[in-house]
């Protein structure tokens, strides 16, 4: 099923060039304070267009806040801004997915996936919605209500909803941390395939997830927090986490996170 979806999606991604254009994320001197605590300050970074950047860090370091500032959900970052490489606002180009699937419990899968279109009053591309629902493996559950689905299935619906937005930038905030290991693994593969070519930022506290999905990994650390230099990973995600090369990268990553080999 996954292989099938792979070919199909790469076609649809290639056909929509607007999703893969100049959509880097540029942070200019970004700062944010929460409850009087300076979470990060003077962040000037760039997340490359068309690539997946994984931001790895311990809980509470400010990863989610950074993502929310980029998404424009925290209207008052103390200073600085996030824009693309041409200095244009990112508004209207972002799709967002959180750890909580945020499905509307009264709406069936189809209506959840098409929520964005309905909110904007756009015409609903029925075929496209059904195709995406099929891609995430829920063709038989188009009419199902969320509470009848498992956690993994619900997150698949959220994934289809995120894709339905047809935005060139995707911000994923620990999208799979509430799922069991196997489901997480499946969904990671799906994300790697379905978002290929778009600018994706994934916030996670799971080094293995970062290694599977990222073209590059940034570690967020300290207070106010900084981002490490990008750790570039070769090859195309999704990577096999058991490959020897990935395992050695994981060792390096844990070193960067400040965990010595003795602790591992």
Cβ distance 227 to 45 under 8 Å?
Answer: yes
What spatial distance separates the first Cα and last Cα of the chain, rounded to whole Å? 36
Which one, 47 or 219, has the nearer CB to another protein? 47
Which one, 110 or 249, has the nearer CB to another protein? 110
Bond from prior residue into 238 cis (ω within 30 degrees of 0) = yes
Cβ distance 238 to 192 under 8 Å?
Answer: yes
Which one, 26 or 164, has the nearer CB to another protein? 164
Using only C-alpha atoms, the chain has a radius of gyration, in whole angstroms, of: 18
Residue 90 DSSP code: -
What is the H or E stretch that residue 99 is in? none
Based on the shown chain and the rule CB under 8 A, indicate whether residue 71 belongs to the binding site for another protein. Answer: yes
The binder of another protein chosen from 119, 181, 262, 264 (CB under 8 A): 119
* Whole-Å CA distances, 250 to 58, 78, 102, 171, 189: 16, 35, 31, 23, 18
The binder of another protein chosen from 36, 121, 234, 244 (CB under 8 A): 121
Based on the shown chain and the rule CB under 8 A, indicate whether residue 113 belongs to the binding site for another protein. Answer: no
Closest contact distance (angstroms) between CB of 60 and another protein is 19
Q: In the structure encoding, which two tokens stand for residue 150, read together?
A: 């498992």
The binder of another protein chosen from 1, 2, 73, 247 (CB under 8 A): 73
Based on the shown chain and the rule CB under 8 A, indicate whether residue 35 belongs to the binding site for another protein. Answer: no
Closest contact distance (angstroms) between CB of 153 and another protein is 14
Q: How many residues bind another protein (CB under 8 A)?
A: 26
Site for another protein in 92-111 (CB under 8 A): 92, 94-96, 98, 100, 102, 104-107
Stretch that binds another protein, among 14-22, 34-42, 71-79, 194-202 (CB under 8 A): 71-79
- In angstroms, the CA 226 to CA 117 distance is 37
The strand pairing partners of 27, in sequence order, are 45, 82
Which one, 115 or 257, has the nearer CB to another protein? 115
Site for another protein in 125-164 (CB under 8 A): 145, 147
Q: In the structure encoding, which two tokens stand for residue 233, read together?
A: 């990973």
């Amino acid at each position: 099923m996954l292989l099938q979806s792979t070919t199909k999606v790469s076609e649809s991604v290639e056909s929509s060039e607007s999703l893969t254009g100049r959509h880097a994320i540029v942070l200019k001197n970004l700062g944010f304070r929460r409850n009087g605590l300076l979470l990060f300050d003077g962040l000037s970074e760039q997340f490359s267009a068309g690539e997946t950047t994984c931001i790895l860090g311990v809980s509470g370091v400010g990863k989610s806040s950074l993502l929310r500032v980029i998404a424009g959900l925290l209207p008052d970052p103390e200073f600085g801004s996030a824009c693309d490489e041409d200095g244009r606002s990112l508004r209207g180009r972002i799709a967002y997915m959180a750890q909580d699937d945020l499905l509307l419990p009264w709406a069936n899968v189809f209506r959840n996936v098409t929520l964005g279109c309905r909110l904007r009053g756009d015409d609903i591309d029925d075929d496209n919605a059904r195709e995406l629902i099929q891609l995430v493996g829920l063709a038989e559950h188009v009419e199902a209500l969320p509470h009848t689905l498992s956690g993994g299935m619900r997150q698949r619906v959220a994934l289809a909803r995120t894709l339905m937005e047809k935005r060139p930038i995707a911000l994923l905030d620990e999208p799979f941390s509430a799922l069991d290991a196997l489901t997480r693994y499946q969904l990671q593969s799906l994300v790697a395939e379905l978002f290929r070519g778009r600018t994706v930022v994934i916030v996670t506290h799971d080094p293995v997830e970062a290694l599977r999905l990222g073209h590059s990994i940034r570690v967020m650390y300290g207070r106010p927090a900084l981002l490490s230099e990008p750790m570039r990973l070769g090859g195309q995600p999704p990577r096999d986490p058991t490959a020897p090369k990935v395992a050695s990268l994981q060792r390096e990553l844990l070193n960067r996170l400040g965990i010595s080999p003795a602790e591992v």
